[in-house]
A and B are shown apart, each in its own frame.
Chain A
Amino acid sequence: MKKTSSPTTPLLFFREWESAYDETRDLDKYIPNWDGADADPVPLKLIQATLLFFRHLEERLFPAPDSVYPVADGTVIAEWHHPGGCVHIANILSGRISIVMMDPNGKIILLPSGTQVLVDNIDPQCRESLADGDAFEFTLAA
């Protein structure tokens, strides 16, 4: 999945999330040894956990990830490349979500696990850019 722009409308916001859900469901297509180096497939339970994690983020109006893909140990990574240069990496493991953030200056910050952490710990400069793009600001029509 590749975003063509930052979300500027609720419709685009939801389309990008739908695309992320589709990409996550497709993780079951990775067969054992999919990387040619003995990689594990992604267990169905972890795919379901990733979908649930994403649902929490979407409900908090967090933007959809730019990409979702498996790791060789059968876990899942989601990447966000926010306007302004901030990057979030979430590694969805069994029972834990590792979250790493890179600020626009390239500094790495290891964040505690959890959904709200992602929403709360976005760099202020990036938050401003996101607000410009309405990802945090728009409200849904009744």
Chain B
Amino acid sequence: MVTESTQPPDDLLPVEGSESLMRRILKRLVEYDREKSPPIQIAAFLPTKRDVDGLSLNRRISNQHKTFLTPESLKNWREVPDSIRETCGVVAVLAIAAREIGLTVKTDPATTPGHVLIEEINWDDFAGDRRTDESHDKILGWALQLTRNAVVLIAPGKSKMT
């Protein structure tokens, strides 16, 4: 049974393989089609310019069944710009799915509860200062594998493309 408490669990608790790791996705990028495998585009797990230290995700529930953050809270987080919040969705992947393909899930306490990083999927290796053809393509492959194992918790809403 999942308990909602006012105090989220310790952000530094080791991440269990069975934990869901959530990420916000943009409607304009991530077409969602449950008939497809994977049902979403790999853009969901590609780094943005702000993912310098790794792909940013949030834990959902600890192994003591305490809630770090609900998908709704992640979607509506106060620091998210209104234009993104209105239309974004939330996807999740199990920590074990990331580890099985050789990725590292590292706790990284931040403003949102249960914040973690997948260090190997970072902006600098994808398109920044450290980028090589190999590092770039590896990240494409990892993103594709994560996408294949992802589930959609909140489908993205209507896009407001300008």
Q: Given the complex of chains A and B, what is the CA–CA distance between A35 and B29 in angstroms?
A: 9
Q: Which residues of A contact B140 (CB under 8 A)?
A: 89, 91, 98, 100, 110
Q: Given the complex of chains A and B, what is the CA–CA distance between A71 and B28 in angstroms?
A: 12
Out of B134, B148, B162, name the residue touching A106 (CB < 8 Å).
B148
B33 within 8 A of A: yes
Q: Given the complex of chains A and B, what is the CA–CA distance between A35 and B81 in angstroms?
A: 10
Interface flags for A11-48 (1: CB within 8 Å of B; 0: not) read 00000000000000000010100111111000000000
Known contacts A69-B43, A71-B43, A110-B141: does B37 contact A37 (CB below 8 Å)?
no
Q: Given the complex of chains A and B, what is the CA–CA distance between A87 and B42 in angstroms?
A: 11
Q: Give chain A's interface residue range (CB within 8 Å of chain B).
A: 20 to 34
Stretch of A49-57, A73-81, A115-123, A125-133 with 4 or more beta carbons under 8 angstroms from chain B: A73-81
- Report the minimal beta-carbon distance from B130 to chain A, rounded to whole angstroms: 13
Given A81-B37, A110-B137; 20 other pairs, CB 8 A cutoff: A2-B31, A2-B33, A34-B28, A35-B84, A37-B49, A39-B49, A69-B41, A71-B43, A71-B127, A75-B127, A77-B41, A77-B42, A81-B38, A87-B38, A89-B42, A89-B144, A98-B140, A100-B144, A102-B141, A102-B145
Instruction: Using CB atoms and an 8 Å cutoff, list the residues of chain A in contact with chain B.
Output: 1-2, 29, 31, 34-39, 66-67, 69-73, 75, 77, 79, 81, 85, 87, 89, 91, 96, 98, 100, 102, 106, 108, 110
Between-chain CB contacts (< 8 Å), 7 pairs: A2-B31, A38-B48, A39-B49, A69-B29, A69-B41, A71-B43, A71-B127
